Homo-oligomer: A and B are copies of this chain.
Amino acid sequence: MTRDEITAEIVAARLAKGLTWQQLSEAVDKPVVWTIAALLGQHPIPSETGAVLAELLGLDESVVPVLAAVPMRGGLPTAVPTDPTIYRFYEVLQVYGGAIKELIHSEFGDGIMSAINFSLDVERKPHPDGDRVVVTLDGKFLPYAWTSADG
């Protein structure tokens, strides 16, 4: 089975067994965002962790080494997402991408927010007009640096 086929099985098995993402993340003691991303095929899952998850989800143990390999990442089926929940984040990028870039440069200078040394959190926060989805992207600043191994 390829990683993509295993991902499809995981999605179906979780629903069939009525397991929440929270339960799965607690079973392996990992952050819930990381756990979901990994189970959706975006991160390698260490063998011990994979073995626990495979058993919980009723998957064959032959999936464990495939889950443990670094996957080919990139989870959106189209370059521009069509699902409304995901599209809003793409829209944020269209509307605020330029501003984010300017602010990073004015605060840190030339460079980027790492998407590798990175964590992400999704929280529910109250507000008188209705609860809010607060997504925090937290990545190390990486300054453009012209460095070489011989330096």
Beta-carbon contact of A66 and B12 below 8 Å = yes
Does A55 count as interface, using CB distance less than 8 angstroms?
no
- Find chain B residues with CB under 8 A from A62 CB: 16
- Find chain B residues with CB under 8 A from A142 CB: 114, 116-117, 142
A102-B145 contact in complex given A88-B115, A137-B135, C-beta closer than 8 Å: no
Q: Which of A1, A88, A95, A105 has the most CB of B within 10 A?
A: A95
Beta-carbon contact of B139 and A136 below 8 Å = no
From residue 104 to 144 of chain A, which have CB atoms closer than 8 A to chain B?
104-122, 124-127, 129-144
Beta-carbon contact of B148 and A119 below 8 Å = yes
Count of this chain's copies in the oligomeric assembly: 10
- Find chain B residues with CB under 8 A from A151 CB: 119, 127
Does A69 count as interface, using CB distance less than 8 angstroms?
yes
- Find chain B residues with CB under 8 A from A129 CB: 117, 140, 147
- Find chain B residues with CB under 8 A from A70 CB: 85, 101, 105, 109-110
Give the 7 A-B residue pairs with the shortest CB-CB distance, closest first.
A74-B82, A125-B149, A113-B133, A36-B99, A37-B99, A119-B148, A103-B122
Task: List residues of A whose CB falls within 8 A of some B CB.
Answer: 1-2, 8, 11-12, 15-16, 18, 20-22, 31-34, 36-37, 40, 42-44, 62, 65-66, 68-70, 72-122, 124-127, 129-149, 151
Enumerate 27 A-B pairs (CB-CB under 8 Å) in ascending A order. A2-B8, A18-B65, A21-B106, A36-B98, A42-B95, A42-B96, A42-B99, A70-B85, A73-B84, A76-B97, A78-B79, A79-B79, A84-B95, A84-B116, A85-B100, A85-B112, A86-B93, A87-B91, A89-B93, A111-B116, A116-B144, A117-B129, A117-B145, A125-B138, A127-B140, A132-B141, A135-B136
